[in-house]
């Protein structure tokens, strides 16, 4: 098994985005109430010892509370979910699923079936055992020369969190005997539309625009954007690509970025995450589709050092696991990865689950449900660090059923 820990930002390239006028809007969604819940951390962080401390077993208190540890005396290493048939060793391999109470969606019959998630990134390795029949035949590259080497694995890592398959007959519950244990994605029956936008010379707004238009034409429900930069370009065509997708009920899920920015002013934020907050782009928040920005937290439910904060985008900002996320990588392997590049696909998977379970809700309404039901972290209420807080699938499904 390929297993490495990436401690640096997985920033793909600088995007050039624009600020310019006009656009259409749709009718306002239903008013959605806020749901509050007390957060429960998986692990406590001991700053003196500089390691994560497992709270349940004293004799393990010096072990790293990380995806490399496989100890399942309690479901998913001490998580708060009630034990059920979906909480298996494979499910627990990436703690990000349990942190969001994802198994509650599976109990409700959702798995992402029939939903397409477009991954704008490097190429997803179609031959990986976790992607058997998972990649759309309409996947496409928009670059002349694709990336090789270190960053070539990024698309595969992102896609694994979203839709790595569930091997029902492959792993025993809480079994620690398999050193090459696999994992499953949040929406393990969703289709991945792999759209290659990162090449040897980086990435630019032209290829991103083309990929967004293509994803819209091919009926994607979600577009995952685990890339970013600090600047934006003045291009009407670029804005229209986003707006047309949103008016087609596509939900964009974007990593907040890994530049340690507070995002209190527009020049201290990451793009394309905060694109709707640029003058002239406000219509992106008034369309049928949703816009979700995702920051990264660790297993102690603390914002990671590299994650950009919510700041001015706090009303569209949530968090998910972005430290030690266990996922797929090239050459049929697995890896633990840090960064908002991995927190974003957790939420893309949740949107896919909700789109399948509640097809009558628009993308914007689904995003609002996710915001309203997130588990509050940091200062009470929507704050400048965590936004709405940690995504909570159980609460989201409970609220969506009432709409």
Note the pLDDT tens digit of each residue in 291-308: 999 999 998 899 999 999
Q: Is residue 176 over pLDDT 50?
A: no
Beta-bridge partners for 51: 46
Q: Is residue 287 over pLDDT 80?
A: yes
- Report residue 9's pLDDT band, with 50, 70 and 90 as the boundaries: very low
Element of type H or E holding 364:
helix 363-373
141 or 41, greater pLDDT = 141
What's the rounded mean pLDDT across residues 232-237?
A: 81
- Report residue 347's pLDDT band, with 50, 70 and 90 as the boundaries: very high
334 or 37, greater pLDDT = 334
**Percent of the chain's residues with pLDDT above 70:** 76
Q: Which domains does the chain have, with CATH numbers?
A: 5-37+112-400 (3.40.50.200)
397 or 334, greater pLDDT = 397
pLDDT of amino acid 88? 80
pLDDT of amino acid 326? 92
- Report residue 375's pLDDT band, with 50, 70 and 90 as the boundaries: very high
Q: Which of 34-38, 114-118, 230-234, 396-400 has the lowest mean pLDDT?
A: 34-38
pLDDT of amino acid 89? 78
Beta-bridge partners for 6: 337
What's the rounded mean pLDDT across residues 53-61?
A: 34
What's the rounded mean pLDDT across residues 22-47?
A: 49
Contact yes or no for 315/321 (Cβ under 8 A): no
- Report residue 14's pLDDT band, with 50, 70 and 90 as the boundaries: very low
Q: Which of 15-19, 301-305, 322-326 has the lowest mean pLDDT?
A: 15-19
Please give the C-alpha separations between residue 368 and each of 38, 78, 389, in angstroms, as whole numbers. 20, 29, 13
Q: Is residue 99 over pLDDT 80?
A: yes
Q: Where are the alpha helices (DSSP H) in 143-228?
A: 154-163, 205-217
Torsion of CA 30, 35, 39, 42, to 10 degrees: -50
- Quote the pTM value: 0.82
Pairing label, strands 43-46, 51-54 = antiparallel
Rounded CA gap, 277 and 299, in Å?
Answer: 30
Encode burial over 274-310: b for 16+ CB neighbours within 10 A, e otherwise. Answer: bbbbbeebebbbbbbbbbbbbbbbbbbbbbbebbbbb
């Amino acid at each position: 098994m390929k297993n490495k820990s990436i401690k640096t930002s997985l920033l793909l390239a600088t995007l050039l985005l624009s600020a310019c006028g006009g656009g259409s809007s749709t009718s306002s969604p239903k008013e959605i109430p806020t749901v509050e819940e007390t957060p429960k951390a998986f692990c406590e962080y001991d700053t003196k010892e500089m390691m994560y401390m497992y709270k349940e077993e004293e004799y393990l208190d010096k072990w790293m509370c990380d995806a490399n540890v496989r100890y399942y005396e309690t479901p998913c290493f001490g998580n708060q979910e009630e034990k059920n048939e979906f909480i298996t060793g494979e499910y627990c391999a990436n703690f990000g699923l349990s942190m969001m109470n994802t198994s509650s969606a599976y109990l409700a019959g959702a798995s992402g079936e029939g939903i397409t998630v477009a991954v704008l990134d490097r190429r997803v390795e179609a031959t990986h055992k976790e992607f058997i029949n998972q990649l759309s035949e309409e996947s496409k590259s928009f670059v002349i020369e694709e990336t090789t080497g270190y960053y070539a694995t990024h698309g595969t890592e992102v896609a694994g969190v979203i839709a790595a398959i569930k091997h029902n007959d492959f792993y025993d519950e809480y079994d620690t005997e398999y050193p090459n244990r696999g994992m499953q994605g949040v929406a393990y029956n969703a289709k991945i539309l792999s759209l290659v936008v990162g090449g040897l010379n980086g990435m630019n707004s032209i290829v991103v625009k083309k990929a967004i238009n293509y994803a819209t034409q091919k009926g994607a429900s979600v577009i995952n954007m685990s890339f970013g930069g600090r600047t934006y370009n003045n291009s009407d065509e670029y804005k229209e690509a986003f707006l047309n997708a949103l008016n087609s009920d596509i939900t964009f899920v974007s990593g907040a970025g890994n530049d340690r920015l507070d995002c209190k002013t527009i020049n201290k934020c990451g793009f394309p995450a905060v694109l709707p907050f640029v003058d002239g782009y406000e219509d992106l928040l008034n369309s049928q589709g949703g816009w979700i920005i995702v920051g990264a937290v660790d297993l102690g439910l603390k914002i990671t050092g590299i994650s950009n904060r919510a700041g001015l985008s706090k009303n569209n900002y949530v968090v998910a696991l972005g430290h030690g996320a266990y996922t797929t990588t090239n050459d049929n392997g697995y890896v633990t990865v840090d960064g908002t590049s991995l927190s974003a696909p957790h939420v893309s998977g949740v949107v896919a689950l909700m789109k399948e379970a509640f097809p009558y809700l628009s993308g914007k309404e689904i995003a609002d449900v996710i915001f309203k039901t997130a588990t509050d972290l940091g200062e009470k209420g929507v704050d400048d660090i965590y936004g709405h807080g940690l995504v909570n699938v159980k609460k989201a499904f409970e609220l969506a059923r009432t709409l």
